[in-house]
Amino acid sequence: MRRHVWGPAVALALLSVGVPTASAQAAREAPPARTQPLPLERLFDNTAVSDDARPGAADFDGAGGSLSAQDLTAAGWTPGRSLTVQGAGLTWPRREAGGPDNVRADGQSVRVRGRGDALAFLVAGTGGDAVTGTGVVRYANGSRSSYQLTAPDWRRGPLATKAVALPHINTPGGQLAEKARLYVVTVPLARGRDVASVELPRAHDLHVFALSVRADRPGWTGSWAASTSGYTAVGPWTDRTLRLVVHTSAGGPRVRIRLDNTFAATPVRIGSATVAVQASGASPRSAPVPLSFRGAAGAEIPAGAQVFSDPLGFDVPADTNLLVSFHLPGTVTAAPVHTQAIQRSYVSVPGDHAAAATPDAYTSTITNWPLLTGVDVGGGPGSVVLLGDSITDGDKSTPDGNRRWPNVLSRRLLNQDAVPHYGVLNHGISANRVVTDVYSGDGVSTSTGGVSALNRLDRDVLAQTSARTALVFQGVNDVRWGASADQVIAGLRKIAERAHARGLRVLAATIVPCEGETRCTAAADAQRVAVNAYIRSNSDFDGVLDFDAVVRDPAHPARMLPAYDSGDHLHPGDAGLAALADSVDLKLL
């Protein structure tokens, strides 16, 4: 066959009537070249934020809806603000209202650097339902991995998992008194590899505001922690100092604390903070040592965010009470709290008394832990995270006695050398459930049973400092309140899947009996037995702790042995809690 050679003029004419040249055909058939990764802000193609005076200047959802710049400012989410959520550092777009501030995910290649356990995305969907897409992470060594990202809807998504909720939605026709939601969602990374770029999913209604690698935290072990169980009225406190008593597990030569403004709608200001070893009550053993935050004496914590103090050279003893004091210079009427502290802490008269070496200023007591969620120590082998309900929380243990079963487990670890001296992080919440939120996750409430284990898993397990093993001991509250065994099993299986995806070992404990308590009916016990059968017989977990077998009455397996019963037939007392901790095979941790 004779080959035709086209001149430039003829080729141009043929193209104009739709006849392809050989070069055009080849270009069309070749796979598209991957674009050079760019910083996320250079890819912004949507405007989500409007000034209340000019609501038509933004169109987040394609129907004229947008976020209020004034609401964001009131929450502490100002342009360019650094935010830490779930241990990941993110930056709210440095854009004024009415300018492009987010990316509609369409396969864009984003320049991202870092090494860690997860990618953190600040996102929201605008399609009416949660929107999901699959993206690609490319590493500096040339390898790649895929990830799946789901963004809940900005108007209908769950409040239990949101990073922040804003009170209004702007529209060209006026402001709506309807909550807008923004979410931080994390996805696993290949451990030990440096991220070079991230290819976003192709999901038009998925909006990305910020993206970062949640960095590994080498050199730290979690020593104490508590979950935020609700957002309740407090005080009110104006110009007061809180001196909170917490009990360490692992010790170390350095310390830092974590403060969380979980579930909040407004920022909270920390004026100063100190740490000391407790002598007794509000008295320190020696003068409290000042903590700093990015070099400053205090910090402002935006709504839904957290802060870590700077590393401080301070000898933290293992198995010891610390006093963590911080000054609240403003007025605080509500705060995120862990309600069931089983421990007295202290509130001062007006003034900054964080550095006080005597107890004189601390004239009142509280039995919860506001704002403080973690104490980390330098060095160490990492931590075991206990995800549980009131039995793990220590309900019915001796107040101020540190006789919760996690405390006893920690002492066992410290007093042996067969396995490392892991930190033990108690993330039990009284009344908590696996699959149902007791607290809705938004607003001031008297409900302090927390959001479900599934909805708090990222914050209370996956984002915890140096977590290596998760131990799940929950389900009794679900079956007591009518959940089926199948629902609880599905929730436990999902917890195991998500934790394994992050490289954690996952252990499960069987549910202990509770016949004699009002809601522990025969029907509830049948569901409990079915859940326990699943835990004992499946391969979803790396190990099983048969707590049911430890405390049940052999002659009547639906109830607890009287020697272990606190008296309410639901919670073990000190002896029962010690029996649980003593039964743990430490090599499983």
Per domain, the residue ranges of the chain are 40-215, 230-375, 381-589
Q: What is the mean pLDDT of the chain?
A: 94
| pTM score of the predicted model | 0.93
For residue 572, the tally of other CB atoms under 10 A from its CB is: 26
Is 50 exceeded by the pLDDT of residue 14?
no
Is 80 exceeded by the pLDDT of residue 35?
no
pLDDT digits (tens, 9 = 90+) for 272-325: 999 999 999 999 999 999 999 999 999 999 999 999 999 999 999 999 999 999
* Cis peptide, bond prior to residue 236, ω within 30 of zero: yes
Residue-by-residue DSSP string for 314-374: EEE-TT-EEEEEEEEEEEEEEEEEE----S-EEEESSS--TT-SSSTTEEEEESSEESEEE
Q: Distances from the Cα of 286 to the Cαs of 199, 205, 274, 516, in angstroms?
A: 53, 56, 12, 48
Is 70 exceeded by the pLDDT of residue 11?
no
Q: In 3D, which of 322, 342, 311 has the Cα closest to residue 217?
A: 311
Query: What pLDDT is attached to residue 5?
Result: 33
Confidence of residue 34 (pLDDT cuts 50, 70, 90): low
The label of the residue with tokens 């710049």 reads: 69
CB-based contact 579:572 (threshold 8 Å):
yes
What percentage of the chain reaches a pLDDT higher than 70?
94
Is 60 exceeded by the pLDDT of residue 23?
no
pLDDT digits (tens, 9 = 90+) for 534-546: 999 989 999 999 9
Alpha carbon distance 115, 84 (integer Å): 17
Write out the two tokens for 561: 């042995």
| 2-11, 305-314, 389-398, 559-568: segment of lowest average pLDDT | 2-11
Question: Any idea how long the chain is?
Answer: 589
Is 60 exceeded by the pLDDT of residue 2?
no
The label of the residue with tokens 């042995």 reads: 561
Mean pLDDT for 94-115 is 97
The sign of the torsion formed by the CA atoms of 58, 62, 65, 70 equals negative
Mean pLDDT for 219-228 is 97
CB-based contact 307:299 (threshold 8 Å):
yes
Q: In 3D, which of 309, 246, 252 has the Cα closest to residue 277?
A: 246
Mean pLDDT for 339-362 is 98
pLDDT digits (tens, 9 = 90+) for 168-177: 999 999 999 9
According to CATH, what is the number of the domain 381-589? 3.40.50.1110
Query: What pLDDT is attached to residue 578?
Result: 98
CB-based contact 270:327 (threshold 8 Å):
yes
pLDDT digits (tens, 9 = 90+) for 495-516: 999 999 999 999 999 999 999 9
Q: What share of the chain is helix, strand, coil (3-state, %, to 5)?
A: 20, 40, 40
Mean pLDDT for 547-566 is 98
